[in-house]
Amino acid sequence: MPKAQKFCAYRDRCVWEMELKLTEWGLVKKDIDEIIDELVETDFINEDRYLLSYSRGKFFNNSWGRNKIRHALRMKNFTDEKIEWAVGKISDSDYTKMANKLLGNKLEKMAKLESRARQSKAYYYMVSKGYEPQVFIPLLKKLDP
């Protein structure tokens, strides 16, 4: 148990990550369930806290858009309701500022390309970062007419 507590204390963990780690350590399902229950009761695992820190971290540190964050959280077996709650905590103004910054940097790096190629590459870049077209297309038209 102390090893699992130390693992959770290092940074926020979700139940899914903890199950993987405990399985990796060679524990059986019954023991894994007991340990996870204990970790949840003692607040070493708090899924709401994890969702908030994960979504904010991926947004502010990695510049991920909402779609990419949603996808990553689905891969960790969170419900759509919980995912939407966490992603909804990212303010629209911060989101637009980040999209504007990313798009501006990308267009600046591709200044030598013709306009159509630049816009196409910028579009696919923003989609790959997880931003919705309705958020960045108006910015793209404004920055690169």
* 3-class SS of residue 88: coil
Whole-number pLDDT of residue 15: 92
The backbone region for 98, taken as left when phi is positive above 0, alpha when psi lies in -120 to 50, beta otherwise, is alpha
Between CA 102 and CA 130 the distance in angstroms is: 12
pLDDT digits (tens, 9 = 90+) for 93-142: 999 999 999 998 888 888 787 888 888 888 999 999 999 999 888 888 87
Whole-number pLDDT of residue 138: 87
Which alpha helices (DSSP H) does 76-114 contain, by range? Answer: 80-87, 92-109
pTM reported for the whole predicted model? 0.88
Whole-number pLDDT of residue 145: 65
Minimum mean pLDDT range among 23-27, 57-61, 74-78: 23-27
Contact present, 44 and 110 (Cβ < 8 Å):
no
